[in-house]
Structure 1
Amino acid sequence: MNTFEFAVKNGEMSSFFRGEGKYFIRCPDWGIHLHGANLSGAIESYIKENNYGNQVLESGFLIFLKSLKVDKEDFEHLLANLAAYFAIKNDKSGLSGVNFFRSSESVQILKSYLKEVRKSGLYASVQPEMKAYIDYMVENGSNLVRDVLDSDY
């Protein structure tokens, strides 16, 4: 059983997307969690092996979105997951048929969260560190996060 399947069976979607505990994949250079490795490894194999893997993944990501707190750590987890997701989708070799924003609910939750981040002042305080994630998403075909954070809401 891979880690994503384990997270699904144990209701640990938020922990999976945050890289907590057994879901942590250490970057050898910086010692931080590699969000992209989770998405391109355990998730891709789960999708290939399960008929409804795409829907399970999309539902799991929605659970993660709903669990986000307006703090630096969760904001970083969100941006790292989204950057990895858009890069894998842009590569066209992975996550075929997956759309984290297929439902209007996930789009609305993301927009609401990002607006709260912006209102809280968190984004301004971490903008230099977060700019790299946002630029990477834009390079990989998504302006969603940048546009919401840059909007006058």
Structure 2
Amino acid sequence: MASVFLLQRTQFIPAPLQQAWDFFSNPNNLAKITPPYMRFTVTSPPDDRKVYPGQVITYTVCPLMGIPLEWMTEIVHVRDGAYFVDEQRVGPYRLWHHQHHFREVPGGVEMTDTIHYRLPLGWLGRLAHTLFVRRQLENLFAYRYRVVQEYFG
């Protein structure tokens, strides 16, 4: 049985809901919250619209040893100001389902990322998860946490 892993992170953002939503629902801001060593680049045509169901976003990213990978996600669900969900269509994961939830709280917004993911290659994928994938995702979200705090701080 293949393992489906879960990563969940919650962050308080000291900003109005609309400001947080505007930032995170704009795919052009993804590179700003991704560590520079990953060389994350949006490759889909420029689109100044906020996320919408059916939107396809393509990127290149170098998560491991500088090797570039193509990644394509589709925005599958959006509730304006509340949440959006992206799913990988092409990329390094066998499954990638990423929920972004926003909730107004006193003094700002509580943002929760919930990611269900599965790696390819059966037991080799599980080993890779144990050796470096989990740690890399945790480091990515730790970086994102710091950048978001600085940006909205």
Query: TM-score band (shorter)?
Result: under 0.3
TM-score (norm 1): 0.27
Using CA pairs under 8 Å that are at least 6 residues apart, name the structure with larger relative contact order, 1 or 2: 2
Determine which structure has the larger strand proportion and give its number.
2
TM-score (norm. length: structure 2): 0.27
